[in-house]
Amino acid sequence: MLDAFGQRQQRLLHLLLDHPEGLTMDELAQALAVSKAAVHQHLVALEREGYVAQKELRKTGGRPSPAYALSERGVHLFPKQYAWFSKLLLEHLLQELGSAAVQSLLYRLGQETAASLRAPLVAHPPKERLAAIVQLMHTLGYEAKLEGETIAARNCVYHDLAKEHPEVCALDLGLLDGLLDQPVLQTECMLRGGKACRFCLHRPA
């Protein structure tokens, strides 16, 4: 995500990453070899977008000056190895528990996640709830679309991991079963050559 910023803003963000206690405008200007006005311009833009936040005032010989530090959102601009950690953890669970037990565990995790997200959805009528669930899925990273009574996800948020360990798909089923408060039926899967992962309402006969 850092590629979206200019070179000078990237350098400023790296400086703040190296100094979690924060740096004043004077310190940033000196480190970047630019004017305070230029630093101020970058800080205003980054603070407006929520990547940088002011900390406590700091004495610098004259009047106390605010220190600037990365916000939580700013820290998340830098690469994380979630995929590596997830793969390591999943492979260990598979060795310890076996495939069936891991699928069951991931399904329950999906349902527990749904339980923590379901409250705002309860007030919606059934048809509107589907649309609200699709919007919720967008916030979780899914490129989801409502097609009648089918939810089509055109991306897999953990595609590489699921391609190697398809047990991960149980998490999606648990999540959607929990959000809809009824079973869903997966009719298409990207891992099996489908163009999307499709989930439709399953009504037992």
Can you give the pLDDT at residue 205? Answer: 47
Give the domain extent around 69.
2-75
Give the ranges where 72-141 is alpha helix by DSSP (H).
72-75, 82-97, 99-117, 126-139
Q: Is 68 exposed, middle or buried (0-12, 13-18, 19+ CB in 10 A)?
A: buried
pTM of the model: 0.67
Looking at the structure, tell me whether residues 127 and 179 fall in a common domain: yes
Looking at the structure, tell me whether residues 32 and 114 fall in a common domain: no
> Which of 59, 75, 91 represents a domain boundary (last residue)?
75
pLDDT band at 182 (very low <50, low <70, confident <90, very high): confident
Looking at the structure, tell me whether residues 163 and 87 fall in a common domain: yes
Looking at the structure, tell me whether residues 184 and 114 fall in a common domain: yes
Residue type, 136: L
Domain CATH number, residue 28: 1.10.10.10
Looking at the structure, tell me whether residues 6 and 37 fall in a common domain: yes
Please write the tens of the pLDDT for every residue from 131-180: 899 999 988 889 999 998 899 998 888 888 898 999 999 999 999 999 98
> Which of 75, 98, 133 represents a domain boundary (last residue)?
75
Can you give the pLDDT at residue 178? Answer: 93
Looking at the structure, tell me whether residues 111 and 191 fall in a common domain: yes
Looking at the structure, tell me whether residues 92 and 168 fall in a common domain: yes
Calculate Rg over the CA atoms of the chain. 23
Q: Residue 128 above 90 pLDDT?
A: no
Can you give the pLDDT at residue 202? Answer: 61
